């Protein structure tokens, strides 16, 4: 037995076997750091074939386990080799296989961000803000339509515009009336021009002028002045002189119907014609076309009125005052003169309704305090009680109808109160007359109690006899 052991120890070692010495070589034993219970038997040389085989099997198993650990730990940092296989992976190992359903990056170069910047995936058209360019149609596409492509190329630089249908004659009045009524409120001709441009009046555009004039005949003098300005501003822009002439021709034919609502329609239409010719809205030959060809009496009256107004103006100056200057556009001196004339005519005629009609025609409700002021001053300057009673009657009528408001009435009396010292220089008894007139107005409910109590009164200074030294008696 000893001879066999010596022979085995002296024999040359095969490749892959361990050499038994007092100091084993570390280069041939890479796993020498792990302790094994058979090291002592190996050192002593007491190996048996069974123990040797068992020891080799254990070393191989341990090496496989270490290989699996290292491969699983470093799988995220390994890269593909040039042949396309994973470097350092065991194809026979379960952990060395590539999972084809894994959505993570297999290159090991990603930062954990979503693929394609979040623009990929099911039902996604691309990243936010991405603009796709037009693609040229492919002739090899099964859905390629050659006829549609030819029609697109044939259009070229086509410009599309909004088409507004032409306004029908029966709908024209419904669309024009609100525009004219709003114009009477704001008086802006440019806005009317803009609104008319949005409408496709077509061949019926001349009827706008006739409708505007018809509405102004039923309104105030200021409305007729605004209508004349509107026709002047629209001529040459939206309407021509021939369109204006055609509109006035139509109105001359409709005069018998216009008289039913406006008895003064012939005279007003004549003034419109004269103003239009002076503003170069109508041609100068408009009146000449009707000489000896008019059978309607109302039309003849209108044309005669226009001819008279034109003959009165030399060098064809603008007839700006044919309707009077409307409302607040009049100068203050002119309004004061008109109100003085109104009160003087009333004192002569005593017609309250005519005075009310004239005051309304002035169209200055904010200036009615001037009428109250002038009426009270006339009472102070008059002799007798007739003017006082007539003015009280007039102011009472204006108060009841609401033509003169409380504010205007109070402002008129307050102006007289403030100027009473100056008025008393010309009228010595102005204070006493004023007190009597204010009391009568309060009794007739023309003024309020507060306004009556605010009337100033001048106290009388009485002196005692000369022996008292001129001391004033209390």
What percent of the chain stands above pLDDT 70? 70
Alpha carbon distance 279, 317 (integer Å): 9
Rounded-to-10 torsion of CA 101, 102, 105, 111 = 140
8-53 residue pLDDT tens: 444 444 444 444 444 444 444 444 444 444 454 454 457 788 888 8
**How far is the first Cα of the chain from the last one, in angstroms, to the nearest whole number?**
171
Choice between 7 and 253, residue whose per-residue pLDDT is larger: 253
Looking at 254-365, list the stretches that DSSP marks H as alpha helix, in order from N- to C-terminal side. 255-261, 265-278, 297-312, 332-349, 352-362
Q: How confident is the model at residue 315 (pLDDT cuts 50, 70, 90)?
A: very low
Helix (H, G, I), strand (E, B) or coil at 80: strand
Choice between 170 and 418, residue whose per-residue pLDDT is larger: 418
Structural contact between residues 373 and 415, judged by C-beta atoms closer than 8 angstroms: yes
DSSP 328: G
Alpha carbon distance 180, 226 (integer Å): 10
Choice between 137 and 8, residue whose per-residue pLDDT is larger: 137
Q: What is the mean predicted confidence (pLDDT) over 277-294?
A: 87
- Paired tokens of 172: 């024209």
> What is the structure's pLDDT at 109?
62
232-282 residue pLDDT tens: 999 988 889 999 999 999 999 999 999 988 888 999 999 999 999 988 899
Q: How confident is the model at residue 173 (pLDDT cuts 50, 70, 90)?
A: confident
> What is the structure's pLDDT at 352?
92
Structural contact between residues 456 and 420, judged by C-beta atoms closer than 8 angstroms: yes
Alpha carbon distance 420, 413 (integer Å): 10
CA distances from 158 to 47, 154, 172, 259 (A): 102, 10, 33, 54
> What is the structure's pLDDT at 106?
58
pLDDT surpassing 90 at residue 131: no
pLDDT surpassing 90 at residue 374: yes
> What is the structure's pLDDT at 16?
42
3-state secondary structure the chain: CHHHHHHHHHCCCCCCCCCCCCCCCCCCCCCCCCCCCCHHHHHHCCCCHHHHHHHHHHHHHHHHHHHHHHHHHCCCCCCECCCCCECCCCCCCHHHCCCCCCCCCCCCCCCCCCHHHHCCCCCCCCCCCCCCCCCCCCCCCCCCCHHHHHHHHHHCCCCCCCCCCCCCHHHHHHHHHHHHHHHHHHCCHHHHHHHHHHCCCHHHCCHHHHHHHHHHHCCCHHHHHHHHHHHHHHECCCECHHHHHHHHHHHHHCHHHHHHHCCCHHHHHHHHHHHHHHCCCCCCCCCHHHCCCCCCHHHHHHHHHHHHHHHHCHHHCCCCCCCCCCHHHCCHHHHHHHHHHHHHHHHHHCCHHHHHHHHHHHCCHHHHHHHHHHHHHHHHHCCCCHHHHHHHHHHHHHHHHCCCCHHHHHHHHHHHHHHHHHHHHHCCCHHHHHHHHHHHHHHCCCCCHHHHHCCCCCCCCCECCHHHCCCECC
Choice between 29 and 305, residue whose per-residue pLDDT is larger: 305
Helix (H, G, I), strand (E, B) or coil at 28: coil
69-121 residue pLDDT tens: 776 666 545 544 444 444 444 555 555 555 555 555 556 566 666 666 667 66
Q: Which residues pair with 235 in a beta bridge?
A: 239
> What is the structure's pLDDT at 79?
45
> What is the structure's pLDDT at 7?
42
> What is the structure's pLDDT at 104?
57
The pLDDT mean for the chain works out to 77
Burial per residue of 362-395, b for 16 or more beta-carbon CB atoms within 10 angstroms, e otherwise? bbbeebbbbbbbbbbbbbbebeeeebbebbbebb
Choice between 215 and 128, residue whose per-residue pLDDT is larger: 215
> What is the structure's pLDDT at 442?
92
Choice between 131 and 36, residue whose per-residue pLDDT is larger: 131
> What is the structure's pLDDT at 72?
61
Rg of the Cα atoms in the chain = 58
Q: Is the pTM of this model over 0.85?
A: no
> What is the structure's pLDDT at 94?
52
Q: How confident is the model at residue 396 (pLDDT cuts 50, 70, 90)?
A: very high
Q: How confident is the model at residue 319 (pLDDT cuts 50, 70, 90)?
A: low
> What is the structure's pLDDT at 145?
80
10 Å CB burial of residue 153 (0-12, 13-18, 19+) is exposed
């Amino acid at each position: 037995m000893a001879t066999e052991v010596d022979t085995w120890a002296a024999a040359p070692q095969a490749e892959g076997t361990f050499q038994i010495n007092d100091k084993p070589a570390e280069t041939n034993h890479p796993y020498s750091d792990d302790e094994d219970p058979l090291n002592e038997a190996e050192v002593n040389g007491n190996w048996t074939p069974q123990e040797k085989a068992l020891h080799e099997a254990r070393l191989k198993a341990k090496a496989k386990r270490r290989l699996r650990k290292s491969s699983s730990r470093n799988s995220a940092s390994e890269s593909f080799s040039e042949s396309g296989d994973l470097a350092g992976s065991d194809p026979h190992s379960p952990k060395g296989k590539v999972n084809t359903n894994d959505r993570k990056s297999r290159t090991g170069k990603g930062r954990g961000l979503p693929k394609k910047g979040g623009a990929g995936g099911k039902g996604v058209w691309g990243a936010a803000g991405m603009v796709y360019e037009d693609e040229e149609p492919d002739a090899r596409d099964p859905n390629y339509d050659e006829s549609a492509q030819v029609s697109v190329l044939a259009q070229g630089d086509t410009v599309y515009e909004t088409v507004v249908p032409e306004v029908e004659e029966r709908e024209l009045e419904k669309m024009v009336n609100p525009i004219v009524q709003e114009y009477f409120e704001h008086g802006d001709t440019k806005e009317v021009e803009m609104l008319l441009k949005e409408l496709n009046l077509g061949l019926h555009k001349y009827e706008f002028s006739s409708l505007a004039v018809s509405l102004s005949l039923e309104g105030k003098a200021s409305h007729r002045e605004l209508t004349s300005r509107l026709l002047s501003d629209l001529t040459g822009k939206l309407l021509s002189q021939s369109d204006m002439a055609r509109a006035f021709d139509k109105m001359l034919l409709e005069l018998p119907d216009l008289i039913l609502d406006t008895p003064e329609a012939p005279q007003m239409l004549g003034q419109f014609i004269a103003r239009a010719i002076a503003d170069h809205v109508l041609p100068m030959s408009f009146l000449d076309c009707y000489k000896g060809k008019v059978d309607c009496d109302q039309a003849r009256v209108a044309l005669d009125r226009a001819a008279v107004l034109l003959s009165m103006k030399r060098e064809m100056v603008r007839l700006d005052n044919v309707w009077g200057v409307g409302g607040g556009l009049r100068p203050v001196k002119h309004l004061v003169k008109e109100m003085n004339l109104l009160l003087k005519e009333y004192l002569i005629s005593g017609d309250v309704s005519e005075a009310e009609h004239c005051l309304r025609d002035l169209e200055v409700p904010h200036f009615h305090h001037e009428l109250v002021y002038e009426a009270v001053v006339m009472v102070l300057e008059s002799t007798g009680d007739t003017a006082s009673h007539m003015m009280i009657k007039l102011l009472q009528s204006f108060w009841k109808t609401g033509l003169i408001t409380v504010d205007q009435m109070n402002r008129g009396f307050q102006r007289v109160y403030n100027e009473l010292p100056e008025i008393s220089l010309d009228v010595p008894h102005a204070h006493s007359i004023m007190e009597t007139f204010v009391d009568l107005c309060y009794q007739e409910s023309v003024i309020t109690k507060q306004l009556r109590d605010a009337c100033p009164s001048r106290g009388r200074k009485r002196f005692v006899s000369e022996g008292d030294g001129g001391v004033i008696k209390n």
